[in-house]
């Protein structure tokens, strides 16, 4: 069986073209959309991601600033900064970069971001809106999985989807988005008994556990679709997914690559969220 590569390059390009046009219209009307990234760590991978977001924003005509609170920032200091930015009318989107300092929980501090500016959908408020089916910003990575499937014309309604991973930033919100598409969803995790038996019964498998090579050919039934959300560092320093791609190739009908699959779509959707927030603020 030939395994189709579900690349995200074209979808990201389409999204970015629309975002660039809308950002230019906002700028012409008086103010460019503005994103502020709040950092409280000295993690090299986080630093790389922040720089990539800054470059993406610049290419699209979105103003992007970074506030570095330092790797020892307290929960109170982080909350105070997020609250200040949420109240600043010149700021359209606020994103808190992880990891956070030891002892500081994301849910503990992210409630300080108002839902209208929570462009990556990380706060309990935003997650509650998503679970309730109300307007808000879903986590961009979760949304990217759904949008990539739609772009490649993979049906979701009525399909059985196994989501491997139950984090608040991918697994749980993705389950809500898939339910909204009328999929039947099974959420798997570290305590799922006989994971291969569960995933191999699914039409679509989404790997979002953060463990390199966790999903192998034994986890996938022939003809299933596999969407790989993982971004792990390989032995040689390269980025690898949660799927052992060689063992899945020839068995799955389609597989999203890492890199080049979910990643570029996630960034494109995050930037679109900033523009949408700016448009709503100026309406």
List, for residues 4-40, the tens digit of each pLDDT value.
999 999 999 999 999 999 999 999 998 899 999 999 9
What are the sequence ranges of the domains in the chain?
31-114, 140-263
Q: What is the pLDDT of residues 108-131, one digit of tens each?
A: 999 999 999 999 999 999 999 999
Residue 4 labelled as part of a binding site: no
C-beta atoms surrounding 168 within 10 Å? 17
In the structure, what pLDDT confidence band is assigned to residue 45 with cuts at 50, 70 and 90? Answer: confident
Residue 128 and residue 138 in contact, taking contact as beta carbons nearer than 8 Å: no
Mean pLDDT taken over the chain: 97
The share of the chain scoring above pLDDT 70, in percent, equals 100
Mean of pLDDT values over 205-232: 97
Mean of pLDDT values over 146-163: 98
Where does residue 75 rank: exposed (0-12), middle (13-18), buried (19+ CB within 10 A)? middle
pLDDT at 220: 98
Q: Does domain 31-114 have CATH number 3.40.50.10860?
A: yes
Where does residue 270 rank: exposed (0-12), middle (13-18), buried (19+ CB within 10 A)? buried
Q: What does the angle CA 201 – CA 207 – CA 210 come to, to the nearest 5 degrees?
A: 140
pTM: 0.96
Domain 140-263 in the same topology as domain 31-114: yes
Residue 267 labelled as part of a binding site: no
Residue 166 labelled as part of a binding site: yes
Enter the CATH code of domain 140-263. 3.40.50.720
Residue 126 and residue 93 in contact, taking contact as beta carbons nearer than 8 Å: no
Residue 167 labelled as part of a binding site: yes
Q: What is the pLDDT of residues 79-105, one digit of tens each?
A: 999 999 999 999 999 999 999 999 999
How remote is the C-alpha of 6 from its chain's centroid?
Answer: 17
């Amino acid at each position: 069986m030939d395994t189709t590569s579900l690349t995200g390059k074209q979808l990201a390009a389409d999204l970015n073209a629309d975002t660039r046009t809308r950002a230019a219209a906002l700028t012409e009307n008086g103010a460019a959309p503005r994103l502020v990234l709040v950092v409280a760590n000295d993690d090299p991978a986080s630093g790389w991601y922040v720089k990539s977001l800054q470059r993406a924003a610049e290419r699209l005509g979105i103003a992007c600033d970074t506030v570095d609170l330092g790797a020892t920032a307290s929960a109170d200091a982080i909350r105070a900064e997020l609250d200040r930015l949420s109240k600043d009318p010149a700021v359209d989107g606020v994103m808190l970069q992880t990891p956070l300092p030891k002892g500081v929980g994301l849910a503990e501090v992210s409630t300080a971001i108002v839902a209208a500016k929570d462009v990556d959908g990380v706060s309990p408020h935003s997650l509650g809106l998503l679970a309730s089916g109300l307007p808000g910003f879903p986590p961009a990575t979760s949304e990217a999985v759904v949008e990539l499937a739609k772009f490649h014309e993979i049906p979701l309604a009525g399909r059985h989807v196994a989501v491997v991973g139950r984090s608040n930033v991918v697994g749980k919100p993705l389950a809500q988005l898939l339910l909204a598409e009328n999929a039947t969803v099974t959420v798997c995790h570290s305590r799922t008994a006989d994971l291969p038996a569960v995933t191999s019964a699914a039409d679509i498998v989404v790997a979002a556990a953060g463990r390199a090579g966790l999903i192998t050919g034994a986890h996938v039934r022939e003809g299933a679709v596999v969407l790989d959300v993982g971004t792990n560092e390989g032995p040689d320093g390269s980025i690898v997914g949660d799927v052992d791609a060689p063992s899945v190739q020839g068995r799955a009908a389609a597989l999203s690559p890492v890199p080049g699959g979910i990643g570029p779509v996630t960034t494109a959707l995050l930037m679109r969220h900033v523009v949408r927030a700016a448009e709503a603020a100026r309406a």
